[in-house]
Amino acid sequence: MRILVVEDDEIAAEYVRKGLMEAGHVVDLAGDGELGLEMAKAADYDALVLDRMLPKRDGLSMLAAMREDGDATPVLILSALGEVDHRIEGLRAGGDDYLAKPYSFAELLARVEAIGRRSDPTAAVTKLKVGDLEMDLLARTVTRADENILLQPREFRLLECLMRNAGRVVTRTMLLEKVWDYHFDPQTNVIDVHISRLRSKIDKEFDTQLLHTVRGAGYRLQT
Amino acid sequence: MIDRLSRIYRSTVFRLSLIAAALFVASSFIVLGYIYYATVTTRLNEIDDGLEAELEEIEDLFSRGGANAVNQLAINRILSPSSPNLYLFQNGNSPATSNLEGDPIPESPKGPNETIQFVFEVRDTKTGMGSGEFHRARGRYQVLAPTTVIFVGRDVELIVTAAERVQRALLIAMLMAATLGIVSGAYVSGRFARRIDRFNRLATDIQGGDFKRRAPVTNSGDELDDLAQHLNGMLDHIDRLMSAMRYAGDSIAHDLRSPLTRLRTSLESTATQVKDPQAREALFDAADNATELLGTFESVLRIARLEAGDRRELLVNIDPQPVIDDLAELYEPSCEDARLGFISEIEAGHMIAADRGLLSQAVSNLLENAIKYTPKGGNIRLTLRKNRAGRVEINVSDDGPGIPTEQRERVKERFVRLEQSRSLPGTGLGLSLVQAVADLHRAEFSLSKSDIAKTGLKATLRFPRVRK
């Protein structure tokens, strides 16, 4: 993906650039809101990483200007202001996701890849398929190698979230937000417990593992 | 209504007017007593003195002229229109000389020189017979010889009636004054209480974090207006300080967390590149520690922000049942993994003013604590219900080791961890956050003895009734 990072902290910006490049993306940097807006207009990016506190023009006003122009590029807002109301403010201004500082790079990468143009985890599909694991979103059924798997409603949503992001890392925080709608991090491994239940249902009886744990990041569903 | 009456009753102004009314009633009693004494008692004493003088004169006459002289005197006095007295003269078996119907003496157990009060039938002056009208009177008798007795009395009906009338009038006036005093006291105190009420509501709202509220100024320029203006000045100042603090807090968060984040990012990115599994593991561990450090920092900021209380506007009226159901579902597998029994009793249909996210976080902290401190084989119970007083309660009970009574308040403070739990992971911020969330919701957060076992802890969030 081609990604624009708008961040005034040069060292942080450089880290993000380096990390995203290592993950195989093309990255441009902008140090302030005015420059960021110009660059976003000039080129066609697949995703934007946008800091809220910027010199010259703050992140939200830059985002609002972009959206007024009809620019629908997915935007991940970064901010030290991690409180819920700020988050809602960011999403209302047209952000696609919101990540509070301090974040781990793995979290940032997972989220940018999830919102990026080349993926569309909210696309209107009726069937999801990863290897021999299939999910019918209308009938609310899951099969693996044509064998029916019975899931609790929440397990279904958990698996759906992983399948929509198949091949990409989904972090615990993302799962908490998207499956449970919680915006805080519990102190315990509560998500791991749910994942291990899900794993015992979809992987235990089969030779190939689909649900992988990614150390320091989260989970990935992959053949 | 009863609530309002009891409020009025408790108000200072009303109490003062009640005391004033009571003092007025008491002093009226003293005045009334004096008037009674000055008019009636003195008058009656004069009458008694007159009766005594008359008896002395008769006694004197008896010693000089005997029974006949006394009888003659009695007849003269009875016939004289200027004599106000009543007479009864009894000498042996001869018929009594008297202008009294009936005989008051035998009814009286009192001896000579004692005043007898009695009622007699007034004689009609024309017929000399009873008129059917009864008057109150008082009199005395003197035994002149073993079978000779003279009784002298006086009709006091007029005096006593007049005294009674004055008394009744004064009593009614006093009652009226007392009633008016209480009513006007209630009115004045009601007005005053309403103004004080506005100040109280203001203080409650400000404690809950609404720093934009100001005291009402009525422009009447009275003491309460002065107070309101001073309060408003103070609130403006606090508001400025709060904004400055918040700004500083945000800036610190922005400036200080960035380098910590970079530290973690570089640890993580190096970890993913390193081939040596041992070094890789060490780097991930270091990154985890950095994460923990940042998490603690985040929690402190979060609590500070909650305590600064700029988020009351987030509260909406909700039925907490789905929120608590979700948490039960989230933590039930964790309990099972920790070999703990988990029961939830969640009632639907109650209403509280809450923020779903904050409420979830607080109850999640309580559940995580219960899971962390309850040993294998124990039990945890999550309940949502309305208590007897009609307030919505969320309880998390366990049968773990519990917290000693004297430590229960202390563990809510920041970074406080009990000796027994030092070995377990944690920052000592969990319950502080619950307290901050409770304060924001104006809910009570209390820790008490478990209600499911002899040992253990019960954590309760008790919410205020919802204002409709």
Name the closest residue on chain B to residue A181, using Cα atoms: B357
What is the token pair recorded at B241? 């300080």
Interface with B, mutate which of A105, A112, A201, A214 (most B CBs under 10 A): A105
In terms of CA atoms, which chain A residue is nearest residue B291?
A: A104
* A98 contacts on B by Cβ (under 8 Å): none
Contacts A197 to B, Cβ<8 Å: 333
B315-to-B209, B357, B359 alpha-carbon distances in Å: 12, 10, 10
Q: Give how far A70 is from chain B: nearest CA, Å.
A: 31
Q: Is the pLDDT of residue A5 over 60?
A: yes
Inter-CA distances, A31 with A4, A8, A93, A123, A211, Å: 11, 5, 21, 33, 39
At residue B381, the pLDDT reads: 93
Residues of B in contact with A80 (CB under 8 A): 250, 253-254, 257-258
Query: How confident is the model at residue B93, as a pLDDT?
Result: 77
Domain boundaries, chain B: 13-162, 223-307, 313-462
d(CA B184, nearest CA chain A) in Å = 50
More confident residue, B468 or A211: A211
> May I ask the CATH architecture of the domain B223-307?
Orthogonal Bundle (1.10)
Chain B interface includes A214 (CB < 8 A):
no
Arithmetic mean of pLDDT, B8-15? 70
Across residues B4-16, what is the average pLDDT?
A: 70
Query: Which residues on chain A are in Cβ contact (under 8 Å) with B260?
Result: 102
- For residue B342, name the pLDDT band (cuts at 50, 70, 90): very high
Confidence of residue B309 (pLDDT cuts 50, 70, 90): low
Residue carrying the six token digits 């039938």: B121
Q: What is the ipTM of this complex?
A: 0.81
pLDDT at B252: 67
pLDDT at B306 over 80: no
Q: DSSP alpha helices (H): ranges in B80-156?
A: 104-107
CATH class of B313-462: alpha beta
- Assess contact for B322 and B350: CB atoms under 8 A: no
Quick one: pLDDT at residue B85? 81
Does B368 contact A188 at a Cβ distance shorter than 8 Å?
yes
Hey, are the CB atoms on B254 and A193 less than 8 Å from each other? no
- pLDDT over 60 at B104, yes or no: no
Instruction: Locate the chain B residue with the closest alpha carbon to A9.
Output: B258
Report which of B233, B68, B225 is spatially closest to residue B150, judged by C-alpha positions: B68
The more confident residue out of B24 and B257 is B24
Tell me the count of A-B CB pairs closer than 8 A.
Answer: 100
pLDDT at A70 over 70: yes
Looking up tokens 């989904």 gives A170
Q: What is the pLDDT of residue B345?
A: 92
Q: Which residue of A has its CA nearest to B359?
A: A182
Residues 195-234 of B with CB under 8 A from A: none
Average pLDDT value for chain B = 81
Write the pLDDT tens digit of every residue in B389-431.
889 999 999 988 888 887 777 777 766 777 666 666 666 778 8
List chain A residues with CB under 8 Å of B433: none
A217 falls in which pLDDT band (50, 70, 90)?
A: confident
pLDDT score, position B304: 75
B269 to chain A: closest CA residue: A19
Query: Has residue B251 got a pLDDT over 70?
Result: no
Indicate yes or no: CB of A216 within 8 angstroms of CB of B260: no
Residue B393 confidence (pLDDT): 93
Is residue A4 scored above 80 in pLDDT? Answer: yes
Judged by CB atoms closer than 8 Å, whether chains meet at A18 and B269 is answered as: yes
In this prediction, residues A151-180 reach a mean pLDDT of 89
Position B327 scores a pLDDT of 92
Question: Which 3 state secondary structure label does DSSP give B398?
Answer: strand
Residue A121 pLDDT > 60: no
- Asked if B334 is an interface residue toward chain A (Cβ–Cβ < 8 A), one would say yes
For range A125-138, the mean pLDDT: 86
Average pLDDT over residues B230-253: 78
Q: Does the distance separating the beta carbons of A83 and B268 come in below 8 Å? A: no
**Least-confidence region, from B164-173, B372-381, B432-441:** B164-173
B350 to chain A, minimum CA–CA distance in Å? 22
Which domains does chain A possess? Answer: 2-122 (3.40.50.2300), 127-221 (1.10.10.10)
> Given a cut of 70, is residue B142 above it in pLDDT?
yes
φ and ψ of A145, to 5 deg: 50, 45
For residue A107, pLDDT beyond 80: yes
The residue with greater pLDDT, B269 or B110, is: B269
Strand partners, B145: B148
Q: Please report which confidence band the pLDDT of residue B128 belongs to, taking 50, 70 and 90 as the band edges.
A: low
- Angle among Cα A186, A209, B330 to the nearest 5 degrees reads 25
Residues 147-206 of A with CB under 8 A from B: 154, 180, 182-190, 193-194, 197
Q: For residues B252 and B248, give the distance between their C-alpha atoms in angstroms, rounded to a whole number.
A: 6
Cis omega (within 30 of 0) for bond into B333: no
Per mean pLDDT, which of A159-173, A177-191, B22-36 is the most reliable? A159-173
With 80 as the cut, is the pLDDT of residue B366 above it?
A: yes
CATH code that applies to domain B13-162: 3.30.450
Strand ranges (E), chain A:
2-6, 26-30, 47-51, 75-79, 97-100, 127-130, 133-136, 141-144, 147-149, 169-171, 211-214, 218-221
Tell me, yes or no, if B431 comes closer than 8 A to chain A by beta carbon: no
- Does the beta-carbon distance from A104 to B254 stay under 8 Å? no
